[in-house]
Amino acid sequence: MTFADLGLSTKVLKAVAAAGYEKPTPIQEQAIPFALQGRDVLGIAQTGTGKTASFVLPMLTRLEKGRARARMPRSLILTPTRELAAQVADSFKTYGAEHKLTMALLIGGVSFEEQSKKLDKGADILIATPGRLLDHFKRGKLLLTGVEILVIDEADRMLDMGFIPDIEEICKLLPFTRQTLFFSATMPPEIQRLVDNFLHLPARIEIAPPSTTAKTITQKFKMVSADPKTKRKQLREIIGTLTDLTNAIVFCNRKRDVEILFRSLKKHGFNAGALHGDMDQFSRTKTLEAFRKGEITMLAASDVAARGLDIPEVSHVLNYDVPVHAEDYVHRIGRTGRAGRKGAAFTLVTPEDAKALKAIEELIGKELSWLGEPPSEADFEQRPSQNRRRSEGSSKSNSRAKSRSAQTKEKASAKSSRTKNRNTTKKTAANKSAKTDERNRRKTRKRSEQPVVGMGDHVPAFLMRSVRSL
């Protein structure tokens, strides 16, 4: 099967050839013919499978007929992040090199004025993040009644970022007769509901189960300390053993840790950069550009900032944290081993990660491969904030890494029982002691597998982490 067999226009075929693509990827092969017919398409395929071209190419072909009117874009592409929007815009430039179609980008962090000017001139293609699009619409700068084609890219990421209500709102503003092309790597129930509500008899194309991770990626897990300082040191030790590392993304679960890790990597002489959702557009673009050029070789990043980004040739993905959602693991390691290249992913695991790890193992459907000795169940039983047993020296992995917070808590608990024994009548002390006792009771109950109390197993991961005392 070649691109020419798919029914794309001559102009598009020329640009695709210039981009050096020899043949369509599976999602392109299957989605493009339906998209060209004007059918709605639901495309489920993992990162790096070529989804962008599977909607951009047929859109270009279809948009060749007709012209844009002021403030009335003819097509709308929604992406969860600014980076993705910018990336899709780049694809339009590449694949639309032979076209004279106009494009506007509506993303946060860029001035409204400039964006409005572009809209006023008329845009064939509007690429936007949901929030910014609604802002423009509410200011009366935009009419959505001329939209013939709607694309929703990375729908599952939109869900993670809380954009579903925005998307529903936007869908209701568009003409009923539009064509919708919808892409997602996974299909959680909320996404399915969106599809049921806003797609009309879609052609469903599923490329590989969303759980599969590319075979070209070597995946290794390593048991490390939960203490941040030790953990960072262990990360550096792993990096030191990776002789084939040319560049890497280091994923953290939280923005704050991205910053801390970034500074630490820099301090230890790495060409490091940081990418997270709180950074302004200018710094993000600058960092990404430097990473692409190889000026930065270690990019500390959060999931939000990195999902779907097309960063070619990442030799390694390092998960500084085990992702809370197993799907994110698949997305993260999808940054490496793209387009059949070899890649490697290393994940640092702490005693707190038992649940998240199990979910990953289930999702990828294979046994995890460990660097060093695989952990036993006992290694996961202790939590740094509940490490009485660890301090007795029974923990294999972390006996020395007793966190400061745990020490503080133990001190507090000892103090409170002393207070209690002395039968003090001081109200505050009694209060404090009662609270500490209750906390200790809860811990003991949990350890001895008694009925679940409070949030039980559903305590969000961030609450389970050790707290650093100042």
Nearest-angstrom CA–CA distance, 45 and 51: 8
Binding stretches for ligand ADP (CB under 6 A): 21, 24-25, 28, 45, 47-53, 308, 310, 312, 338-339
Three-state secondary-structure class, residue 444: helix
Nearest-angstrom CA–CA distance, 442 and 201: 52
Instruction: Tell me whether residue 308 or residue 337 sits nearer to Mg ion (CB atom).
Output: 308
Query: Token pair 């189960």 is at which residue?
Result: 209
Residue 399 DSSP label: T
Instruction: Tell me whether residue 87 or residue 319 sits nearer to ligand ADP (CB atom).
Output: 87
Contacts of 241 (CB under 8 A, 6+ apart): none
Residue 72 DSSP label: B
Q: Supply the minimum distance, in Å, between the C-beta of residue 3 and Mg ion.
A: 19
Instruction: Tell me whether residue 45 or residue 239 sits nearer to Mg ion (CB atom).
Output: 45
Q: Supply the minimum distance, in Å, between the C-beta of residue 93 and ligand ADP.
A: 12
Residue 312 contact among ligand ADP, Mg ion, none, beta carbon within 5 to 8 Å by kind:
ligand ADP
CA dihedral for 94, 100, 106, 110, sign (positive or negative): positive
Q: How far is CA 382 from the centre of its chain?
A: 28
Instruction: Tell me whether residue 232 or residue 338 sits nearer to ligand ADP (CB atom).
Output: 338
Nearest-angstrom CA–CA distance, 388 and 349: 20
Q: Supply the minimum distance, in Å, between the C-beta of residue 25 and ligand ADP.
A: 5
Radius of gyration of the chain (CA): 26
CA dihedral for 172, 201, 193, 89, sign (positive or negative): negative
Q: Supply the minimum distance, in Å, between the C-beta of residue 85 and ligand ADP.
A: 13
Contacts of 82 (CB under 8 A, 6+ apart): 107, 108, 109, 129, 281, 284
Nearest-angstrom CA–CA distance, 264 and 236: 10
Residue 339 contact among Mg ion, ligand ADP, none, beta carbon within 5 to 8 Å by kind:
ligand ADP
Q: Supply the minimum distance, in Å, between the C-beta of residue 418 and ligand ADP.
A: 59
Q: Supply the minimum distance, in Å, between the C-beta of residue 41 and ligand ADP.
A: 14
Instruction: Tell me whether residue 3 or residue 163 sits nearer to ligand ADP (CB atom).
Output: 3
Residue 49 contact among Mg ion, ligand ADP, none, beta carbon within 5 to 8 Å by kind:
ligand ADP
Instruction: Tell me whether residue 51 or residue 332 sits nearer to ligand ADP (CB atom).
Output: 51
Instruction: Tell me whether residue 43 or residue 323 sits nearer to ligand ADP (CB atom).
Output: 43
Nearest-angstrom CA–CA distance, 444 and 436: 12
Q: Supply the minimum distance, in Å, between the C-beta of residue 272 and ligand ADP.
A: 24
Residue 50 contact among ligand ADP, Mg ion, none, beta carbon within 5 to 8 Å by kind:
ligand ADP
Nearest-angstrom CA–CA distance, 122 and 119: 5
Instruction: Tell me whether residue 308 or residue 384 sits nearer to Mg ion (CB atom).
Output: 308
Residue 25 contact among ligand ADP, Mg ion, none, beta carbon within 5 to 8 Å by kind:
ligand ADP
Contacts of 398 (CB under 8 A, 6+ apart): 225, 226, 227, 351, 379, 382, 384, 387, 390
Q: Supply the minimum distance, in Å, between the C-beta of residue 459 and ligand ADP.
A: 33
Binding stretches for Mg ion (CB under 5 A): 51, 308
Nearest-angstrom CA–CA distance, 200 and 295: 46
Nearest-angstrom CA–CA distance, 381 and 347: 19
Q: Supply the minimum distance, in Å, between the C-beta of residue 154 and ligand ADP.
A: 8
Helix (H) or strand (E) holding 152: strand 149-152
Nearest-angstrom CA–CA distance, 276 and 247: 18
Instruction: Tell me whether residue 51 or residue 276 sits nearer to ligand ADP (CB atom).
Output: 51
